[in-house]
Structure 1
Amino acid sequence: MDSAVLSGRSLSRHFSVKGAAAPVEAVRDVTLEVAPGALTALVGPDGAGKTTLLRMAAGLLAPSGGSLSVLGVDVAARPQEVQDRISYMPQRFGLYEDLSVQENMDLYADLHGVPADVRRERFERLLHMTDLARFTSRPAGKLSGGMKQKLGLACTLVRLPELLLLDEPTVGVDPLSRRELWEIVRQLVEQERLSVIVSTSYMDEAERCQQVFVMHQGRLLAAGAPADLRSRAEGLSFTAVPRTGNSARTLQARLLDARDVVVDAVPEGGHVRFIRRPDASDGAVAQLLDGLPVNPVPARLEDGFMMLLRAAPPPPTLPTLPTSPTLPASPALTPPAASKPARAAGPAGGADSMIEVRDLVRKFGDFTAVASTSFSVARGEIFGLLGPNGAGKTTTFRMLCGLLPASSGFLQVAGVNLRHARAQARAKVGYVSQKFALYGNLTVRENLDFFGGAYGLYGQRLEQRTSQVLEEFQLGGQEHMPSGQLPGGFKQRLAMATGLLHEPEVLFLDEPTSGADPLARREFWRRITTLSEQGVTVVVTTHFMEEAEYCDRIVIQDAGKVLAIGTPREVRKQADDAGNMEDAFIRIVEQNRNGGAP
């Protein structure tokens, strides 16, 4: 196709990894063509090669082999010519936080040489599209996460490119802001006929695209319109209704473990959506479901995606360094806290309450970030903190972890009053942050030693726990690999391992699956379900609304206030019986911002 905006032939790119015996192949023998004037998605598991492909398309990396042309130009031979005609928004777009919204846009317009008469009209349109016109004088560092992403997109578009490359533009963005960002992209494609290539972990985002490329282990696994990929799961997708008193999370875990019968399973609207294997017998399916009500549902892109990945060969292990002793792979998802007595999760409060929050307030000068918040969390419960960017949930989370003192109110975690003994409480909790607070220049083993010492583990006890978590999180053989060189999925495992080394009673997870693909999210939540069954209390923040369905109860905050609290079913009911949690979340937040009006 001569008019393709991007054309690759037998494209490859490898990287040398310090200490590894062979280079890592990030992109392997990829041939593809991207149609002009359309929205195209790159999807795939962590480490599939999506970002590497986009960086090569932007002229920031040279291919190791094959050819790549962008807008008809050989990007390896003439990268500057390509860069003059495209715009690229990486995952961590460089805003200047001390500069205002307007000053950031002026700076990028200066860098791209946009004439004054052109930039006036362009700024007006971009500020209108992003709804940032009211905030032009606000420093970028004072914007919420969603507003920062919209400003980054505006700065990327201060000149009108022929091709726009977006690398995970909605990672860490709440559902409201995510919807707004996609509306901007849709307008650009429809009104300006802009060609857009976006990498994304959200399959519902990829479903909006005209063309989808599925990558896996650096290779192109499949390509086509969303309908083509959905068809792989047509007739195989169903929902099952858990028995009264049983959680969707528990049923999902049972279905996921039956790999010879079920391809995938995920909680959704109080039910469990699952894909049966094409070769599974009706008898095996019936035995697994044990009389539960089952209904067929239309296939969606995520179903086709999971069918592709489950059929693909397992991912290769990371390069094993010669000095690393290899531990046997973990036979099951056994949590580090397995020695703790198992308890069923129940309603929060009472003598078995692990977290008590009453009239909690946090102010920063005249600004109230959290206003009179109250709730309790039971032992073994999974409790979700949800809210738009800037809603106050991160501040609440940091107070619960003992990282930030409360201005007023009562706060107790694991029987310790955090207003008087924060250090004592921290010894009973584990914490996994969104950015995975690992030391990139330290090896896997050195990170475990450091965090173990920080939690008071030494000598034989530290050695014992380190061996256990290396095995349980399947990190054996990678002990001497610098953590900064691990793929994101392995970093997530290591972060979980460091947070659970000391067998905490309460585990805090701050957007732990941000940017993770559906396959990695399933694996992660299977582990969390097991931890909960063993009596570990889990508090999680997330922008993936499907993950709220894993929680026993959730709270939705906005502008520092609690808008809703209860089980996922109760919250959906409060939102006029919304069919899924994302719709419920948007309705509740919008009604609050509209003064209660729907």
Structure 2
Amino acid sequence: MDTPALCAHALGYRFAGPPPRQALDNISLSLPRGGLTALVGPDGAGKTTFLRLVAGLLQVQTGQLEVLGLDVARQPQAIQDKISYMPQRFGLYEDLSVQENLDLYADLHGIPAGQRQERFAHLLEMTDLGRFTHRPAGKLSGGMKQKLGLACTLVRSPELLLLDEPTVGVDPLSRRELWQIVDQLVARQQLTVLVSTAYMDEAEHCDQVFVLHEGQVLAAGSPASIARHAEGRCHVATPPAGIPARQLQAHLLDQSGRVVDALPQGGEVRYITQAQPQPNTPPDLGPGLASRPVPARLEDGFMVLLRARHPARPTPAPHPEEAPAPGAAPDAGPAIQVKDLVRRFGDFVAVDRTSFEVARGEIFGLLGPNGAGKTTTFRMLCGLLPASSGLARVAGMDLRRARAQTRERIGYVAQKFSLYANQSARENLEFFGGAYGLRGARLQARIAALGAQLDLDSFMDGPAGTLPGGVKQRLAMAAGLLHSPEILFLDEPTSGADPLARREFWRRITALAAAGTTIIITTHFMEEAEYCDRIVIQDAGRLLALGTPAQVRAQAGETPARRLSMEEAFIGIVEQGRGQKQESRP
């Protein structure tokens, strides 16, 4: 038990391609037993490759890797008998019930019948799935599916648990519940857990953190030690009245050489300066702008490390082609008008009398827990799903009468990558451009412009299915923007993206909005709601809140003396809504 849970020395792994890619490059690290360790880093940093090597799913090419005192190269099966691995897309059988999935994984792992009843009872209590044992897995919400996946992973008692971004696509309430389960496992069973995550607040409560970048360990240590890279350089600025936080963020990032990173936060902007001779001394931001120093956190240190290699770029100027297409000039009405919108699936009401309007050029956020009806609302507004009742007008047209014409004036980026994996990025763009009626020189000009704007030029000729997650997201966005839509629908576009990728994404979105494009977005990253002009919070198909981020935080109980993050406001409003619904039941 004195040996480390995991020890890697000069570990390397290279994918043959095309093009060939060095996923891990001379990595050395060690994990003690009985703790919680996080792997963080940008897309393509090597996190998933490392976990798959530890799990014995890839063969070690160079270097050495020992897991639980065993050599992975020589004893892969012995290691797999002692560990459990939950990949990003866990293999639940959606036609089987919760109980049947547990039974299946118990069979696969050879769990004796005499041990199952007690083991299952513990897992169902821990995950709060005991009420749903007969429900098909495909009918569970996203958060419940993740909890079932974790339960199936734990049907045997492992010595090491590997979790590859277990909270991707999971709402804040379900994310909190999932981490309570993991914390319980570590505290009560002294389980060793290695988790990769895109959420810095998740990594912040781990015992140690490894920051990976381009296949190498960029930094390692406790969250506090990573945060020290930004010590004395973190500040919060309050925008003047009437100025959106995202506009102040762009202003700060355009302070060439002075500001390393900036992020909207609770109606203000948190930013990091370049290293200064006098710590905690904010720079002069100009007339009417004051700021105060704040302690550094893990995400600040993470961004300092990455910005040293990927400096923030100035706000991109709106491209002339990004303006709404000729012939689709804005009229005096709203971009979207929804009144008493209802969608039923049999007896199930997915969207229940929702009403809101979206102004032209607005960034509008649609938030809610898994199963709240967000994607259903999206699909109705995109003309992909008919409403059961109610009014939906998009780009000035009634979707009941002109769904095909409406789709010509909107762009849609789906929650899951939905382009052609075997075709190259360029071939995908040419296909979708042709579907929108673009041909010849104009199509090639749009592909060239979007390739440059979204940093896709070096990925144009490889199969789309082999691209890193962040590049896939940018390619899907390019496909949705080819025809210069008036309205762009983005369904959880940053799911699984690291903080660096999310910042770059929002720089592009704010530039599109500045050029006149209306943006409708769903997200589970509550910090991203701060980029929106207004947001809606839904739960179980019902509208719980509607207003600016400041108005929603006020509805959740924010006061000048008690500032709330958007995640705190979201959880408070949803829990309050569920409490009121429970009280109203006979």
User: Under TM normalisation by the shorter chain, which class is it?
Assistant: over 0.9
Q: Could you tell me which residue of structure 1 aligns to residue 337 of structure 2?
A: 356
**Alignment TM-score, normalising by the size of structure 2:** 0.95
Closer/same/farther in 2, CA of residues 121 and 259 from structure 1, 3 Å limit: farther
Give, in whole Å, the separation in 2 of the partners of 1:229 and 1:472: 32
1:225 maps to 2:208 = no
Contact 2:235–2:282 (Cα < 8 Å) also in 1: no
Contact 2:240–2:288 (Cα < 8 Å) also in 1: no
Q: Could you tell me which residue of structure 2 aligns to residue 203 of structure 1?
A: 200
Greater CA deviation, 303-312 or 465-474?
465-474
Q: Could you tell me which residue of structure 2 aligns to residue 345 of structure 1?
A: none
Q: Could you tell me which residue of structure 2 aligns to residue 116 of structure 1?
A: 113
Give, in whole Å, the separation in 2 of the partners of 1:214 and 1:119: 38
Q: Could you tell me which residue of structure 2 aligns to residue 10 of structure 1?
A: 10
Contact 1:6–1:35 (Cα < 8 Å) also in 2: yes
AA paired with 2:316?
Answer: L
Give the Å deviation of 1:234.
Answer: 1.6
Q: Could you tell me which residue of structure 2 aligns to residue 581 of structure 1?
A: 566
Q: Could you tell me which residue of structure 2 aligns to residue 26 of structure 1?
A: 23
1:129 maps to 2:123 = no
1:182 maps to 2:179 = yes
Equivalent residues in 2 for 1:369-518 (5 A)? 369-518=350-499
Greater CA deviation, 386-395 or 473-482?
473-482
Give the Å deviation of 1:489.
Answer: 1.8
Q: Could you tell me which residue of structure 1 aligns to residue 140 of structure 2?
A: 143
Contact 1:270–1:569 (Cα < 8 Å) also in 2: yes
Closer/same/farther in 2, CA of residues 341 and 445 from structure 1, 3 Å limit: closer
Give the Å deviation of 1:280.
Answer: 8.3
Give, in whole Å, the separation in 2 of the partners of 1:4 and 1:304: 27
Greater CA deviation, 54-63 or 449-458?
449-458
Contact 2:340–2:389 (Cα < 8 Å) also in 1: yes
Give, in whole Å, the separation in 2 of the partners of 1:106 and 1:396: 36
Secondary structure of the residue aligned to 1:593 is helix
Give, in whole Å, the separation in 2 of the partners of 1:461 and 1:144: 43
Give the Å deviation of 1:339.
Answer: 5.4
Closer/same/farther in 2, CA of residues 97 and 59 from structure 1, 3 Å limit: same
1:340 maps to 2:320 = no
> CA offsets per residue over residues 290-330 of structure 1, 9 Å max, x none?
33121111111000100111123689xxxxxxxxxxxxxx9
Greater CA deviation, 429-438 or 27-36?
429-438
5+ residue gaps, structure 1, are 316-329, 343-348
Secondary structure of the residue aligned to 1:549 is helix
How many equivalent residue pairs? 575
> CA offsets per residue over residues 428-457 of structure 1, 9 Å max, x none?
001111223211111111000111011121
Give, in whole Å, the separation in 1 of the partners of 2:505 and 2:232: 28
Give, in whole Å, the separation in 2 of the partners of 1:364 and 1:297: 49
Give, in whole Å, the separation in 2 of the partners of 1:386 and 1:172: 12
Secondary structure of the residue aligned to 2:248 is helix
AA paired with 1:449?
Answer: E
Give the Å deviation of 1:189.
Answer: 0.1
Secondary structure of the residue aligned to 1:447 is helix
Give, in whole Å, the separation in 2 of the partners of 1:296 and 1:392: 40
Contact 2:8–2:27 (Cα < 8 Å) also in 1: yes
AA paired with 1:570?
Answer: Q
1:252 maps to 2:249 = yes
Cα RMSD (Å): 2.2
AA paired with 1:148?
Answer: K
Secondary structure of the residue aligned to 2:296 is coil
Greater CA deviation, 234-243 or 258-267?
258-267
Give the Å deviation of 1:2.
Answer: 5.3
Q: Could you tell me which residue of structure 1 aligns to residue 307 of structure 2?
A: 310
AA paired with 1:527?
Answer: R
Give, in whole Å, the separation in 2 of the partners of 1:337 and 1:506: 16
Give the Å deviation of 1:62.
Answer: 1.1
Give, in whole Å, the separation in 1 of the partners of 2:398 and 2:186: 54
Secondary structure of the residue aligned to 2:371 is coil
1:593 maps to 2:574 = no
Secondary structure of the residue aligned to 1:353 is coil
Give the Å deviation of 1:534.
Answer: 0.7
Give, in whole Å, the separation in 2 of the partners of 1:438 and 1:451: 9
**Alignment TM-score, normalising by the size of structure 1:** 0.93
Give, in whole Å, the separation in 2 of the partners of 1:109 and 1:460: 58
Give, in whole Å, the separation in 2 of the partners of 1:535 and 1:366: 40
Give, in whole Å, the separation in 1 of the partners of 2:286 and 2:412: 36
AA paired with 1:340?
Answer: A
Q: Could you tell me which residue of structure 2 aligns to residue 365 of structure 1?
A: 346
- 2:150 aligns with one of 134, 150, 153: 153
% of aligned pairs identical? 65
> CA offsets per residue over residues 345-365 of structure 1, 9 Å max, x none?
xxxx99341000011010111
AA paired with 2:212?
Answer: M
Give, in whole Å, the separation in 1 of the partners of 2:459 and 2:82: 42
Give, in whole Å, the separation in 2 of the partners of 1:290 and 1:230: 30
Give the Å deviation of 1:289.
Answer: 4.3
Q: Could you tell me which residue of structure 2 aligns to residue 288 of structure 1?
A: 285
> CA offsets per residue over residues 492-542 of structure 1, 9 Å max, x none?
221111110000000000000000000000000000011111110000000
Give the Å deviation of 1:485.
Answer: 1.8
> CA offsets per residue over residues 18-58 of structure 1, 9 Å max, x none?
2x3xx310000000000110000000000000000000000
Give, in whole Å, the separation in 1 of the partners of 2:510 and 2:539: 27
Give the Å deviation of 1:337.
Answer: 5.6
5+ residue gaps, structure 2, are none
Secondary structure of the residue aligned to 1:8 is strand
Contact 1:260–1:280 (Cα < 8 Å) also in 2: no
Give, in whole Å, the separation in 1 of the partners of 2:104 and 2:286: 59
Closer/same/farther in 2, CA of residues 280 and 271 from structure 1, 3 Å limit: farther
Give, in whole Å, the separation in 2 of the partners of 1:47 and 1:339: 29
Greater CA deviation, 252-261 or 86-95?
252-261
Give, in whole Å, the separation in 1 of the partners of 2:547 and 2:458: 43
Q: Could you tell me which residue of structure 1 aligns to residue 519 of structure 2?
A: 538
